[in-house]
Amino acid sequence: MIRSLLLRAGLLLVGTLVALLATAAPAAAHGADAPNGSDYRVGVTGLAPARDGVDVRTVEAGARLELRNRTDRTVTVLGYSGEPYLQVRPDGVYENTRSPATYLNRTLAGETAVPADADPTAEPSWQRVDDEPVARWHDQRALWREAGPPPQVGAAPDREHRVRDWVVPLRDGETAVELRGTLDWVPPPDPYPWWAAVALATLAVGALGLVPAGAPAGRRALVALGALLAVGGLAAVAVAVGRALDSGAEGAGGLLVTLLTGQTWALITGLGAVAAGSWTLTRHAAADFGLALAGACLALFAGVTNAAVLARSVPPLPWPVQPVRLVVTLILVAGAGATLAGVFRLHAASRAVAETTTRRPVDVAHLRPERAR
């Protein structure tokens, strides 16, 4: 009965995933090379003059600008030489293949080679790149791309500084519009206290694996480890969702597609940790191996990959930075601590098996002297 219900639930889940992926495919059309954190905060102050139905915001920790056109007009983004670069029309987004900005803006570093036929003075050649009227692009006018910091930051790196006010020219139909924003330096935190906390807490959690497994205290320790691993897995899923939202994902379908295409490993390891933690709570005989394996995956694929937030002031999530650091710290501790405890328990179990094997009872009957006849 239970197996049948689980099978039906699994089939329903798979069907739902397939349906959502099929209906939300256009949402995955926006490529991204989102940073894991930044010390520069990019802000959008608005459009001048204001335009109804045109919304702009930053995504991916400020690495991209997002323009959404909810009107029946065409909004054009101008490139670095004033040429038409992007058009956000009611039926989708179009790129001018003759604009150098089309190639320079494809990556955050701007290292894409500009082809010889890219000429800002040439007649635009439009290519449709998305079916939705939403454009996301890296814009060098809103970013700090120099190797060294700005002069004012170099003089006082421990203070917040306004690096510059930036402007991206647009056209709404035939009306000239300015997209205005700010670029600020935000001093990064000292990462060493965070890493010290991770190390100490990991050792404390790992020490639970030294408690004898057969004792009541050992069984309670296993339950605590399973609960912590499950909580760490839920935290990893939350971080993956937050990063997907910060990349511009909207709606259930768009969120799911972004999770499965951009946050795949963090999502899988988070769910795996929840499953392994729940399995451990049942005190299953093989729980120690699952504890160690799921913990290692959680620490590596959801913890280490997001650990940059411990040393950066602007995280790639739409939440306050301090809670984000606490959540990432929890993921690292839960994963690494569970791995350490699981290894200790596996080692203790293997030693117990070896000792049992070497202590087999010896048949001494043949050593007794025979009675004299």
Q: Are 335 and 295 in contact (CB under 8 A)?
A: yes
Burial (Cβ within 10 Å: 0-12, 13-18, ≥19) of residue 365: exposed
Helix (H, G, I), strand (E, B) or coil at 80: coil
Largest CA distance in the chain: 125
Burial (Cβ within 10 Å: 0-12, 13-18, ≥19) of residue 74: middle
Domain ranges of the chain: 40-185, 188-357
Residue 363 is predicted with a pLDDT of: 53
Q: Are 89 and 79 in contact (CB under 8 A)?
A: no
Residue 56 is predicted with a pLDDT of: 97
Q: Tell me 301's DSSP state.
A: I
Q: What is the 3-state secondary structure (H, E, C) of 168-184?
A: EEEEECCEEEEEEEEEE
Alpha-carbon dihedral of residues 258, 263, 266, 272, nearest 10 degrees? 40
CA-CA distance, 189 to 370, in Å (whole number)?
84
CA-CA distance, 77 to 88, in Å (whole number)?
8
Residue 243 is predicted with a pLDDT of: 96
Helix (H, G, I), strand (E, B) or coil at 62: coil
Q: Is the pTM of this model over 0.85?
A: no
Q: Tell me 362's DSSP state.
A: P
Residue 97 is predicted with a pLDDT of: 97
Q: Tell me 148's DSSP state.
A: S
Ramachandran region, residue 38 (left: φ > 0; alpha: ψ -120 to 50; beta: rest): beta
Residue 16 is predicted with a pLDDT of: 36
CA-CA distance, 318 to 96, in Å (whole number)?
31
pLDDT in tens, the chain (373 residues): 434 433 343 333 334 333 333 333 333 334 457 899 999 999 999 999 999 999 999 999 999 999 999 999 999 999 999 999 999 999 999 999 999 999 999 999 888 999 999 999 999 999 999 999 999 999 999 999 988 999 999 999 999 999 999 999 999 999 999 999 999 999 999 999 999 999 999 999 999 999 998 888 988 999 999 999 999 999 999 999 999 999 999 888 889 988 998 899 999 999 999 999 999 888 666 789 999 999 999 999 999 999 999 999 999 999 999 999 999 999 999 999 999 999 999 988 887 767 677 665 555 455 455 554 4
CA-CA distance, 184 to 161, in Å (whole number)?
6
CA-CA distance, 183 to 58, in Å (whole number)?
12
CB atoms within 10 A of CB 370: 5
Q: Which residue type occupies 246?
A: D
What are the structure tokens assigned to 61, written together? 């920790």
Which residue is listed with tokens 């060294």? 148
What are the structure tokens assigned to 86, written together? 């992007």
CA-CA distance, 334 to 299, in Å (whole number)?
8
Residue 285 is predicted with a pLDDT of: 63
Residue 57 is predicted with a pLDDT of: 97
Q: Are 139 and 181 in contact (CB under 8 A)?
A: no
